[in-house]
């Protein structure tokens, strides 16, 4: 009889615990609930405009492709383990998961990640920057299921954006110039979804050390067939947009063996039949989901004489004359404004 009494007391305690647990979550933790996940685009964030800063919400700074959602993958984690997953072609997903406090991750425009089962593996997984599939974005939030039946997840683009607004012909020789190429070099193409691991020397880089006809991302990294004539004292004022994955490596001059280095802006001009290159160190680390606006590049002296080859010191060694001035203004969320560069 004593054994039966102990057994009944233990069973009653378990039933009481289960009842409390049910009240806390509305449904037992073993049952499934549906969580609706909505993503919030970076271009929908409220912004604070700094004094004198350009308006970055106008169409000339934002394109539909930058915010396009071609697919959305949602991961719900419980104690770091996958508790729910959805892969849809819209900006809203419904995910079946168990009850409790859950971490929710949204990955936009990525390849299929359905084989990932832990938070650690998801954050370590690598995004590759290419010209297909749209700009990859990532974000996370927390939700209590099922009392929170919906959650909004703000996502950030993994790429950074560089805008060149104007190139001014202030050459001291007083000659007309022709803008031939505008491009960026040392373009990283790898970054993890945890947003903290940069591309290494053995990863894929575009335009390594200079313009590379066989290794670039087209208009994402270069505009090369321009041939735009600019009279002395005039400006070339066509916006150029370039994209790269985050890069925190320091600037390094040309060496026979390339090493990871800072992403550079390069402008090539022609003056009286000769080509000159202007590698420009923007002086900043590229950070995800930020936009770096160069409002004006003022060319005062002739740059490095072009050697006719891809890469080399003419495209890597920056113009470091005392007349080079860069002013940087950092906005709250997506813009670093590089007002004027004088060379």
Write the pLDDT tens digit of every residue in 197-251. Answer: 999 999 999 999 999 999 999 999 999 999 999 999 999 999 899 999 999 999 9
- Token pair belonging to 48: 């604070």
Is 128 within the bounds of a domain? yes
Residue in this structure with the two tokens 């004539």, named with its chain if needed: 229
Q: Are 318 and 264 in contact (CB under 8 A)?
A: yes
- Spatial distance between the Cα atoms of 19 and 236, rounded to a whole number of angstroms: 73
Beta pairing class for 32-40 and 72-78: unpaired
- Spatial distance between the Cα atoms of 60 and 149, rounded to a whole number of angstroms: 38
Is 64 within the bounds of a domain? yes
- Spatial distance between the Cα atoms of 275 and 171, rounded to a whole number of angstroms: 14
- Spatial distance between the Cα atoms of 11 and 189, rounded to a whole number of angstroms: 58
Q: Based on the domain organization, do 165 and 147 belong to the same domain?
A: no
Report the predicted TM-score, pTM, of the whole model to 2 decimal places.
0.85
Q: Based on the domain organization, do 150 and 175 belong to the same domain?
A: no
- For residue 43, name the pLDDT band (cuts at 50, 70, 90): low
Q: Based on the domain organization, do 192 and 286 belong to the same domain?
A: yes
Query: What is residue 123's three-state secondary structure?
Result: helix
Q: Based on the domain organization, do 184 and 137 belong to the same domain?
A: no
pLDDT tens, position by position, 180-200? 999 999 999 999 999 999 999
Query: pLDDT at residue 48 above 90?
Result: no
pLDDT tens, position by position, 84-129? 999 999 999 999 999 999 999 999 999 999 999 999 999 999 999 9
| Lowest-confidence region among 17-26, 65-74, 156-165, 170-179 | 17-26
Q: Based on the domain organization, do 211 and 293 belong to the same domain?
A: yes
Q: Are 46 and 87 in contact (CB under 8 A)?
A: no
Q: 10 Å Cβ neighbour count for 103? A: 16
Q: Based on the domain organization, do 277 and 337 belong to the same domain?
A: yes
Per-residue pLDDT, 61 = 54
Domain containing residue 134: CATH number: 2.60.40.2580
Is 32 within the bounds of a domain? no
Is 168 within the bounds of a domain? yes
Q: Based on the domain organization, do 108 and 214 belong to the same domain?
A: no
Is 197 within the bounds of a domain? yes
Query: What is residue 241's three-state secondary structure?
Result: strand
- Spatial distance between the Cα atoms of 265 and 282, rounded to a whole number of angstroms: 7
Tell the burial category of 124 from Cβ atoms under 10 Å away from its Cβ (0-12, 13-18, 19+). middle
Q: Based on the domain organization, do 106 and 166 belong to the same domain?
A: no
Q: Based on the domain organization, do 222 and 118 belong to the same domain?
A: no
Query: What is residue 25's three-state secondary structure?
Result: helix
Per-residue pLDDT, 50 = 34
Average pLDDT, the chain: 83
Is 320 within the bounds of a domain? yes
Per-residue pLDDT, 247 = 98
Whole-number percent of the chain with pLDDT over 90? 65
Per-residue pLDDT, 40 = 87
Residue 82, phi-psi category: left (phi > 0), alpha (psi -120 to 50), beta (remainder): beta
Q: How many domains are contained in the chain?
A: 2
Beta-bridge partner residues of 191: 127, 198
Per-residue pLDDT, 338 = 63
Domain ranges, residue 327 = 160-342
Query: pLDDT at residue 336 above 80?
Result: no
Q: 10 Å Cβ neighbour count for 25? A: 18
DSSP state letter for 261: -
Is 279 within the bounds of a domain? yes
Q: Based on the domain organization, do 211 and 75 belong to the same domain?
A: no
Per-residue pLDDT, 324 = 41
pLDDT tens, position by position, 1-34? 333 333 333 334 333 333 333 333 344 555 789 9
Angle (nearest 5°) at CA 30 between 24 and 32: 90
Tell the burial category of 237 from Cβ atoms under 10 Å away from its Cβ (0-12, 13-18, 19+). exposed
Beta-bridge partner residues of 169: 299
Q: Based on the domain organization, do 98 and 55 belong to the same domain?
A: yes
- Spatial distance between the Cα atoms of 185 and 206, rounded to a whole number of angstroms: 7
Q: Based on the domain organization, do 124 and 239 belong to the same domain?
A: no
Give Cα 87 to chain centroid, integer Å: 22
Boundary of a domain, candidates 123, 157, 191: 157
Beta-bridge partner residues of 328: 338
Boundary of a domain, candidates 133, 157, 181: 157
Boundary of a domain, candidates 115, 135, 157: 157
Query: pLDDT at residue 175 above 80?
Result: yes
Alpha helices in 27-99 (DSSP H): 64-67
pLDDT tens, position by position, 242-301? 999 999 999 999 999 999 999 999 999 999 999 999 999 988 999 999 888 888 888 999
Domain containing residue 314: CATH number: 2.60.40
């Amino acid at each position: 009889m004593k054994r039966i009494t102990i057994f009944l007391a233990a069973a009653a305690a378990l039933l009481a615990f289960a009842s409390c647990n049910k009240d806390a979550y509305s449904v037992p933790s073993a049952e499934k609930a549906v969580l609706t996940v909505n993503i919030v685009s970076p271009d929908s964030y409220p912004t604070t405009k700094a004094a004198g800063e350009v308006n970055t919400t106008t169409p000339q700074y934002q394109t539909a492709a930058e915010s396009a959602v071609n697919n959305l993958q949602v991961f719900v984690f419980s104690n770091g383990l996958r508790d729910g997953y959805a892969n849809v072609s819209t900006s809203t997903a419904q995910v079946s998961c168990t009850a409790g406090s859950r971490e929710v991750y949204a990955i936009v425009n990525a390849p299929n990640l359905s084989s990932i089962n832990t938070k650690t593996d998801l954050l370590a997984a690598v995004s590759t920057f290419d010209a297909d599939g749209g700009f990859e974005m990532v974000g996370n939030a927390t939700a209590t299921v099922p009392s929170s039946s919906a959650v909004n997840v703000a996502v950030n683009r993994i790429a950074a954006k560089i805008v060149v607004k104007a190139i001014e012909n202030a050459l001291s020789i007083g000659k007309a110039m022709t803008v031939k190429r505008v491009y960026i070099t040392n373009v990283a193409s790898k970054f993890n979804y945890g947003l903290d691991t940069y591309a290494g020397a053995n990863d894929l880089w575009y335009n390594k050390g200079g313009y590379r006809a066989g290794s670039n991302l087209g208009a994402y990294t270069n505009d090369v067939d321009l041939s735009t004539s600019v009279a002395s004292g005039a400006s070339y004022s066509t916006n150029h947009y370039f994209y790269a994955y985050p890069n925190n490596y320091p600037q390094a001059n040309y060496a026979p063996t390339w090493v990871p280095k800072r992403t550079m802006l390069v402008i090539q001009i022609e003056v009286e039949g000769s080509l000159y290159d202007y590698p420009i160190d923007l002086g900043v680390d590229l950070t995800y989901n930020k936009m770096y606006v160069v409002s004006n590049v003022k060319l005062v002296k002739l740059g490095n004489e072009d050697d006719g080859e891809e890469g080399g010191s003419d495209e890597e060694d920056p113009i470091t004359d005392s007349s080079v001035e860069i002013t940087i203004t950092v906005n709250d969320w997506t813009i670093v404004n590089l007002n004027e560069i004088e060379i």
